[in-house]
Structure 1
Amino acid sequence: MSNLPDVTFSTVLGSCVAACIRDRVANVGGMNHFLLAEQSGAARDRYGASARYGAFAMEQLINKVLSQGTGRKANLEIKIFGGGKINSALDDVGAKNIEFVRQFLVDEGYVATSQDLGGTYARRVLFKPHSGRAFVKRLDSDIGANVAREELAIARRRVVVPAAVSDIELF
């Protein structure tokens, strides 16, 4: 979260999805990044809510922007990115993430002002919360292959690490 003009958030996405949300009147915003739409039953029981899952990540970011902004849902600008199918060995997690984030926005009464979703490539996303500008670079196949390997390793481990309480979010 920031309202400073010189702050830029950055992330790299494969099948993950990121939302960039900003209060356009207060010029405050932030970015999330989630790996899966929802937790499995075992992970939910063991660790509770985690920012690596869509519903929690979306609710947390929206609530934070509303509380630090004007508090008016109508002032929110929402941009969504990611959900690529970059590894044919995995289920289409990206498609599930896209379906989730679109349905979440509909259910909550929001409309994405812009999006870059799907495809077969990884992306680097930069977001400037003060101005609301977002930049997307579609990454070459070598970088996409590295992201795919990392996602495959996470999927095979099925290990959920509880989120740390700090200013830094590890994902």
Structure 2
Amino acid sequence: MGLQNSLPPEFDRGVVTTVHQGDCHVSNESDLTYSTVLGSCVSACVRDRVANVGGMNHFLLAEQSGSAKDRYGASARYGAFAMEQLINKVLTKGTGKKSNLEIKVFGGGKINSALDDVGLKNIEFVRQFLADEGYVATSEDLGGNYARRVLFKPHSGRAFVKRLDSDVGANVARDEAAFAKRRVVIPAPIDDIELF
């Protein structure tokens, strides 16, 4: 059973680009679809509705460090970087006006008991980030205890979410646990530079 059989017509043609953990892609191509699979991770889809430019990121807050500087730990600086990078790329390719942006957020599932509430931390983080920056998500599909595939058309802003069965979820959970165990230290962006 191919993925094509269960998709709305708009998503079953054209070019599909997979967005992996740590990626950030932006385009204005009308026949392009971004695709990602999320467990505990979160993806934001940001689009400039006037310029028809959009993009998708994919990130995981590995763990909370208890740092006084950042209530979600050092990894949240990576989350903030992932969000700022996506928003700034869309602003740069688009009209440059924050008021033209529409933002959709997905993921943060609890699919692995070993990762505790990483999904919840990701959800809290992305909601707090958007609130702090003065944005409101136009739609979201967050939480739950399942993995999901997210498809996003950057030109039109259409998004499609498919809940995945537990076998796929188990594979996603294993991949995310391996990533979290590596505790990859992502260099934090320099604090005194705003990327706008």
1:7 aligned onto 2:32: yes
Match of 1:130? 155
1:57 aligns with 2:82: yes
Normalised by the length of structure 1, the TM-score is: 0.84
**Alignment CA distance shift 1:38-1:55 (3 Å):** farther
Is the Cα contact below 8 Å between 1:38 and 1:54 reproduced in 2?
A: no
Aligned to 1:78: 103
Q: Aligned letter for 1:157?
A: R
Partner of 1:100: 125
The equivalent of 1:167 in structure 2 is none
How many residues of Structure 1 are paired with residues of Structure 2 in the alignment? 157
What residue is the counterpart of 1:67 in the other structure?
A: 92
Rg comparison, structure with higher value: 2
Distance 2:87 2:62 in 1: 16
Q: Are residues 1:28 and 2:56 paired?
A: no
Q: Partners of 1:61 and 1:39 in 2: how far apart?
A: 23
Is contact 1:37-1:53 (8 Å) kept?
no
d(CA) in 2 for partners of 1:39 and 1:71?
Answer: 33
Q: What's the RMSD between the two structures over aligned residues?
A: 2.4
The alpha-carbon deviation at position 54 of structure 1 amounts to 1.1
**TM, length-normalised to structure 2:** 0.74
1:146 paired residue number? 171
Q: Could you list the runs of 5+ residues in structure 2 that have no partner in the other structure? A: 1-25, 67-73, 188-196
